[in-house]
Amino acid sequence: MEHPEERYYKLNRFLLSVNGLSPYQNVWNARLIRLFITVILVSALFTEASTTLTSEVNQELLVAIIPEILPTLVVTINLYLRHGNIDKYKKLFDYMWRDWALQKTKDEIKIMHDYAETTRLVMLLFTLQMWIIVVVYIVWIFTPEILDVISPLNESRPRIESFKLEFFIDKDRYIYFTRFYICFVAIIIITIFLSNFSIVLTFTQHVCGMCKLLGYRAEHLFCVIENTAGCNLIRGTKIGCRDTAVFVRLHCNVIQFISLIEACHRVPFLCELIGILFNVSMTLIQILTIAGNIERAITSISSTTMILTYSFISNYMGQRITDMSSNMCEKVYNCAWYNVAVSEQKSVLFIIRRRFPPLVLTANKFYTMSLQNFGMILQTVISYCMFFRQI
């Protein structure tokens, strides 16, 4: 994976490596990392579910623990779903490096670099946002302990209980163990969350960049040859045929690339969609029924914001792919394809015909990633929230 353009994807590679999902990582290192993460996540699921053994199971308890269990469960499932697609990720990265290695004009090189730079900046800002939330949360739950050291009172300040967890130990005696454990689990979940986001953003942005590049090539693909000297005409025809063949091949590569992305993400996207619907519905119920519990309110609002931000960006990137492929089709249609030989016209018309239905990214053919459907998710979440409140 040593390529000049890798500087745009260093953060993505780091996030994949720390979760054992990098296709260029040592196999045994990746296995050990995934084993360690699995042990932590399974133990977290156990402590979250064990609350039902020591507390009365009622609607209030279920509304409190389901938003805690679902993110951990979805993250664990997605970790292994994405692990099963590591070979496909390697193919996708190989496609990317081949696209970067193509012979391009200065304007085309600028297009590729602009989209890669956008990927790097968005990933950096989103990672920074997530880690700021995590750091603020860690400082917040340790606030009573910090204040007891800085400004001690006759009695210890009340401990912040942001999650319902059952460790089967004396929480007051092992307060620091439970605190550090919660922080550690939160860091692991956020890291996996960011690695999943980085994969989606990197590949979808690359598709958008290639669609933009193909649209640019379509505008400059066919030009009228002013010099009609025989040798120049023959040379111009050869260049035109070669450029058309390259254009058609690139178009086929983009189709294969998006198909491979969907093959990798159709089940993870579906799991995330189901998790988002139930998790956000439950957290909204928490927000509406907490009745002055500030700790629960902060936790619920933070988790809802992160989940909806991730869902919005995923749907936005799906919408971008659809829009960019439609724009590329329009540019191909408006180019001077009617000035070339019939054999070349057939290739261009084939592309136009293939792109009339634009490229789409779906969750197992069940849900199309788009801004319109993101609005539908919000409506469904509110409907579920109202339904669960009435139960």
Contacts of 245 (CB under 8 A, 6+ apart): 347
Q: Report whether 319 contacts 309 (CB < 8 A).
A: no
Cα dihedral value 165, 33, 123, 81, nearest 10 = -80
- pLDDT of residue 227 exceeding 60: no
- pLDDT of residue 340 exceeding 70: no
Domain annotation covers residue 297: yes
Domain annotation covers residue 276: yes
Instruction: Give the pLDDT confidence score for residue 234 in this predicted structure.
Output: 41
Q: Report whether 100 contacts 202 (CB < 8 A).
A: no
Mean pLDDT score across all residues of the chain: 80
- pLDDT of residue 37 exceeding 90: yes
pLDDT band at 1 (very low <50, low <70, confident <90, very high): very low
Over residues 31-53, the mean pLDDT reads 89
Task: Count Cβ atoms below 10 Å from residue 84 Cβ, excluding itself.
Answer: 10
Lowest pLDDT segment from 27-41, 227-241, 246-260, 268-282: 227-241
Instruction: Give the pLDDT confidence score for residue 40 in this predicted structure.
Output: 92
Bigger pLDDT: 39 vs 179: 39
- pLDDT of residue 213 exceeding 90: no
Q: Report whether 352 contacts 333 (CB < 8 A).
A: yes
Backbone angles phi, psi at 206, to 5 degrees: -65, -40
Instruction: Give the pLDDT confidence score for residue 68 in this predicted structure.
Output: 80
pLDDT band at 33 (very low <50, low <70, confident <90, very high): very high
Over residues 88-116, the mean pLDDT reads 86
Contacts 24+ apart (CB under 8 A), 191-194: 191/15, 191/18, 191/19, 192/19, 192/37, 192/75, 192/78, 192/79, 193/75, 193/130, 193/306, 193/310, 194/15, 194/126, 194/127, 194/130
Residue 346 host element (H or E) = helix 342-355
- Residue 209's closest CA among 109, 352, 126, 333? 109
Partner residues linked to 367 by β-bridges: 363
Instruction: Give the pLDDT confidence score for residue 120 in this predicted structure.
Output: 92
- pLDDT of residue 107 exceeding 60: yes
Domain annotation covers residue 216: yes
Q: Tokens in use for 381?
A: 């979440």
Instruction: Give the pLDDT confidence score for residue 241 in this predicted structure.
Output: 64
Q: Report whether 49 contacts 163 (CB < 8 A).
A: no
- CA-CA-CA-CA torsion sign (200, 32, 50, 181): negative
Bigger pLDDT: 243 vs 268: 268
- Determine the Cα–Cα distance for residues 144 and 48; give it in Å rounded to an integer: 23
- Determine the Cα–Cα distance for residues 182 and 177; give it in Å rounded to an integer: 9
- pLDDT of residue 330 exceeding 80: no
Instruction: Give the pLDDT confidence score for residue 263 in this predicted structure.
Output: 85
- pLDDT of residue 106 exceeding 80: yes
Q: What percent of the chain has pLDDT over 90?
A: 10
Domain annotation covers residue 20: yes
Bigger pLDDT: 291 vs 124: 124
- CA-CA-CA-CA torsion sign (15, 19, 24, 28): positive
Domain annotation covers residue 226: no
Instruction: Give the pLDDT confidence score for residue 38 in this predicted structure.
Output: 92
- Determine the Cα–Cα distance for residues 130 and 72; give it in Å rounded to an integer: 16
- Residue 204's closest CA among 257, 271, 272? 257
- pLDDT of residue 5 exceeding 50: yes
pLDDT band at 108 (very low <50, low <70, confident <90, very high): confident
| Structural domain containing residue 41 | 4-221+240-334+341-390
Task: Count Cβ atoms below 10 Å from residue 55 Cβ, excluding itself.
Answer: 14
Domain count, the chain: 1
What type of residue is 274? I
CA distances from 11 to 32, 85, 119, 126, 195 (A): 21, 20, 10, 11, 9
CA distances from 258 to 83, 97, 122, 280 (A): 19, 15, 21, 29
Domain annotation covers residue 88: yes
- pLDDT of residue 256 exceeding 70: yes
Q: Tokens in use for 268?
A: 């993870």
Lowest pLDDT segment from 193-197, 221-225, 242-246: 221-225
Over residues 91-112, the mean pLDDT reads 85
Instruction: Give the pLDDT confidence score for residue 233 in this predicted structure.
Output: 41
Q: Report whether 45 contacts 37 (CB < 8 A).
A: no
pLDDT band at 216 (very low <50, low <70, confident <90, very high): confident
pLDDT digits (tens, 9 = 90+) for 283-313: 777 777 765 566 666 777 777 777 888 888 8
Model pTM score: 0.83
Rg (CA), the chain: 26
- Determine the Cα–Cα distance for residues 213 and 207; give it in Å rounded to an integer: 10
- Determine the Cα–Cα distance for residues 264 and 87; give it in Å rounded to an integer: 10
